[in-house]
Amino acid sequence: MTDLLTPPAQLEQPLSAEELSSLDGYWRAANYLSIGQIYLLANPLLREPLTLEHVKPRLLGHWGTTPGLNFVYAHLNRLIRERDLSVLYVTGPGHGGPGLVANTYLEGTYSEVYPHVGQDEEGLRRLFRQFSFPGGIPSHVAPETPGSIHEGGELGYAMVHAHGAAFDNPDLLVCCVIGDGEAETGPLAASWHSNKFLNAARDGAVLPVLHLNGYKIANPTVLARIGERELRALLEGYGYAPRFVEGSEPEVMHQLMAATLDEIADDIAGIQSRARAGETTRPAWPMIVLRTPKGWTGPKVVDGLPAEGSFRSHQVPLSNLAHDPEHLAQLEEWMRSYRPEELFDAAGGLMPELAAQAPRGNRRMGANPHANGGALTRELELPDFRAHAVDVLSPAETSSEATRVLGGFLRDVMRANPETFRLFGPDETASNRLGAIFEATDRAWEAEILPTDDHLAPGGRVMEVLSEHLCQGWLEGYLLTGRHGLFSCYEAFIHIIDSMFNQHAKWLKVTRDIPWRRPIPSLNYLLTSHVWRQDHNGFSHQDPGFIDHVVNKKAEIVRVYLPPDANCLLSVADHCLRSRDYVNVIVAGKQPALDYLTIDEAIAHCTRGLGIWEWASNDDGLEPDVVLACAGDIPTLETVAAAALLRQHLPELRVRVINVVDLMRLQPESEHPHGLSDSQFDALFTTDRPVIFAYHGYPWLIHRLTYRRHNHPNLHVRGYKEEGTTTTPFDILMLNDLDRFHLVIDVIDRVPTLGTRCAGLRQAMVDERLRHRAYTRECGDDPADIREWTWPA
């Protein structure tokens, strides 16, 4: 242990001897139960000498972080009781699952939601046995853990989840334990600055506890080895007022922690009351640096090597019990050091003076309703999106910027839900043409504001920071505590949060099987500035693969929508904002694009999810010669244009145009709840006619969704095949063979009856492509040519 502060000479002693004894007893009980979960199958109270029969054959779990988590939990219990606080406990070192399970068991929450694990010796046995055991519970903090909103698997998201939970919850205190391992991750490192977006008047408080355990799996941690001077500077630089609680002697540490928490609670109350009285200075929020030995109170030495206070305590400090009787004896000695006979009564219940340490009812952290956010969710007040519809007198005549139209709707959603809806995005709300929302609110900003700033205010509800990780994590925390939101992002850069999406989707999947978890509002993505209009930013900004990533997750969870025009976007957005427990991905452009459907047609079309566009087809209800299918705004434009070219040049060819909004409709109904039946699919796409499918993203995704369909052998997909540079939008289409001329060529090549007799038309299309390619290379010298920069007439 380095840099250990000498405890202040006149240490406050806020705990009486009885309080100290009970608090320490509670902590010992939690530690004892944590070890029991890791090690024991039976004999939970050590009523008989420990033998191998009592011990699990495979030892799993993480002891190292657990006593520290238990320590904080026990002290928060006291704080809650004394001040009647509502506290949510977010633990970044979520591998310390046994600690959270132990504490929610001790306070009674666990047995309430899992009655088969009762508050007696048999309940203890079951509690121990189930932990990280086949058919049991995960070793990490997980959806199954009462009081949790934060999976303890992938590291780095504790602070963003904590802040998301605190937004718009002025009476909530979120205590956020940050592991010093996790603190090395990018998302965590960035998320310290979340305090520049947390408003003391309107939001709750976040109390970070940086747990300097000192070690990861096999290494020390950076923050534990930079010395206290640098560490303090770093935390002050992040805008916090750190207090150091350091040591290993339990009595001293209890008094120090209790005194520190008392001071901090006063500080937070002061900050909030001043802010709520109108003070606008950004506060230096208090935080704690808790430096305790890794595996605190565990075996000091194992096999002659240091265990407590070293990386060797990370997981299971004593292992190989079957072949090492010394380890078994050491385990028993270790467990008995907590004096279980003082903690539990004859029946296995917690001693009353210890049980009294826990808060009551919903004040228990395991029962805090914010951790089961769906139970608190208020329905969004959704104004009528039809009021924002663009007028469409006939298809493909007028143009709209779809996201700009959506912006008007979102403005009204924001106005109607001033406490339960937020918009998230990395500095792109205006760039993505959602700027109307600033008529209803501002960007949240707690740092300095200058008179020249634009729509920046402490009370703002648009969360802009140049970090997709922070946007995603804040929104997750906001949703998990039962509120609503939308994340708008450049399509290519949403991959930055691929892994966070994974974890959220897995969380949602698991919660569906947990009866006491209530459904939460869906995670809604608006992906715009998409691949087909990254002509100016170029290749690095072109990636439509987030859809591919999303559809690998459970079908019950994921939804993907590609509205072809502004009215469809409105309809889809309204639908997504009403939904629960999904991840909805909406891809829509921000550039002027053709309007196709009136709002009523759009609603009908989006409700079906896909359908024949008769106005663009000429199959007249007969079997078509070819099907032109499309998904995505730009592919739809090219498909409609190709259909027009075909109508002009080959009027006798029966062309059916199908537009797909809801991509999951393409899958078999056995694979996705939205899937079309085979007969429905066949009725639309035929069983034997060529289908030319113009798709927004990587073309093989359409094959992956349809390979079981009867007509799959006749399906030809065009999409983005990783070709692009700085050029014109139409040239990018040509580079990927998705342009209207190539679609016509595809039809000629695939409809058997056309072949040779259309050689002339085919050549004309080839020539058109060459003309445009040459034009692209030469264009632009005459400003009047700008129309040709974008799309053919």
**Shortest reach from residue 731's CB to a copy of itself, in Å:** 6
**Shortest reach from residue 463's CB to a copy of itself, in Å:** 11
**Shortest reach from residue 517's CB to a copy of itself, in Å:** 15
Among 35, 76, 231, 643, binds a copy of itself (CB under 8 A): 231
**Shortest reach from residue 412's CB to a copy of itself, in Å:** 22
Between CA 384 and CA 735 the distance in angstroms is 41
Alpha helix stretches (DSSP H) within 291-434: 325-336, 340-343, 352-355, 402-416
- By CB under 8 A, residue 538 contacts a copy of itself: yes
Which residues within the stretch 172-201 sit at the binding site for a copy of itself (CB under 8 A)? 181-182, 184-193, 196
- By CB under 8 A, residue 531 contacts a copy of itself: no
Between CA 72 and CA 268 the distance in angstroms is 17
- By CB under 8 A, residue 511 contacts a copy of itself: no
- By CB under 8 A, residue 252 contacts a copy of itself: no
Tokens standing for residue 762: 């085919």
Tokens standing for residue 452: 């020249």
Burial class (CB in 10 A: 0-12, 13-18, 19+), 788: middle
Q: Which of these segments, 627-635, 653-661, 697-705, 759-767, binds a copy of itself (CB under 8 A)?
A: 697-705
Q: Which of these segments, 10-18, 20-28, 70-78, 490-498, binds a copy of itself (CB under 8 A)?
A: 490-498
Nearest-5° angle of CA 420, CA 422, CA 424?
A: 155
Radius of gyration over every alpha carbon of the chain, rounded to an integer in angstroms: 30
**Shortest reach from residue 368's CB to a copy of itself, in Å:** 22
Residue 387 carries which DSSP code?
G
Between CA 207 and CA 219 the distance in angstroms is 27
Which residues within the stretch 398-427 sit at the binding site for a copy of itself (CB under 8 A)? 427
Q: How many residues bind a copy of itself (CB under 8 A)?
A: 131
Among 50, 479, 492, 738, binds a copy of itself (CB under 8 A): 492
Site track 360-399 with a copy of itself (rule: CB under 8 A), x = hit: ----------------------------------------
Specify whether the CB–CB gap between 566 and 401 falls below 8 A.
yes
CA distances from 41 to 32, 50, 643 (A): 14, 11, 69
Tokens standing for residue 586: 């909406």
- Beta-strand (E) ranges in 684-754? 691-695, 715-718
Among 453, 600, 623, 767, binds a copy of itself (CB under 8 A): 453
- By CB under 8 A, residue 450 contacts a copy of itself: yes
- By CB under 8 A, residue 495 contacts a copy of itself: yes
- By CB under 8 A, residue 124 contacts a copy of itself: no
- By CB under 8 A, residue 780 contacts a copy of itself: yes
Which residues within the stretch 293-322 sit at the binding site for a copy of itself (CB under 8 A)? 306, 310-311, 322
Between CA 109 and CA 363 the distance in angstroms is 11
Site track 548-577 with a copy of itself (rule: CB under 8 A), x = hit: xx--xxx-----------------------
**Shortest reach from residue 254's CB to a copy of itself, in Å:** 27
Secondary structure of residue 654 in the 3-state scheme: coil
Residue 781, φ and ψ in degrees, nearest 5: -65, -30
Secondary structure of residue 670 in the 3-state scheme: coil
**Shortest reach from residue 62's CB to a copy of itself, in Å:** 10
**Shortest reach from residue 242's CB to a copy of itself, in Å:** 11
- By CB under 8 A, residue 238 contacts a copy of itself: yes
Q: Which residue has the tokens 């309809």?
A: 571
Among 237, 325, 418, 621, binds a copy of itself (CB under 8 A): 237
Specify whether the CB–CB gap between 576 and 587 falls below 8 A.
no
Between CA 4 and CA 309 the distance in angstroms is 13
Between CA 635 and CA 321 the distance in angstroms is 63
Among 536, 578, 608, 757, binds a copy of itself (CB under 8 A): 536
- By CB under 8 A, residue 765 contacts a copy of itself: no
**Shortest reach from residue 275's CB to a copy of itself, in Å:** 18
Give the chain's end-to-end CA distance (angstroms, integer). 73
- By CB under 8 A, residue 222 contacts a copy of itself: yes
Site track 134-163 with a copy of itself (rule: CB under 8 A), x = hit: xxxxxxx-x--------xxxxxx-------
Tokens standing for residue 393: 């007198």
Contacts of 718 (CB under 8 A, 6+ apart): 635, 692, 693, 694, 695, 699, 736, 737, 738, 742, 743, 746
Among 18, 48, 448, 620, binds a copy of itself (CB under 8 A): 448
Distance of CA 617 to the CA centre of its chain: 41
- By CB under 8 A, residue 496 contacts a copy of itself: yes
Among 4, 52, 347, 770, binds a copy of itself (CB under 8 A): 52
Return the H-helix or E-strand segment holding 762: helix 759-778
- By CB under 8 A, residue 236 contacts a copy of itself: yes
Among 320, 394, 680, 726, binds a copy of itself (CB under 8 A): 726
- By CB under 8 A, residue 681 contacts a copy of itself: no
Between CA 162 and CA 192 the distance in angstroms is 11
- By CB under 8 A, residue 540 contacts a copy of itself: yes
Between CA 441 and CA 462 the distance in angstroms is 7
Among 443, 461, 742, 762, binds a copy of itself (CB under 8 A): 443
Secondary structure of residue 523 in the 3-state scheme: strand
Residues counted in the chain = 793
**Shortest reach from residue 382's CB to a copy of itself, in Å:** 27
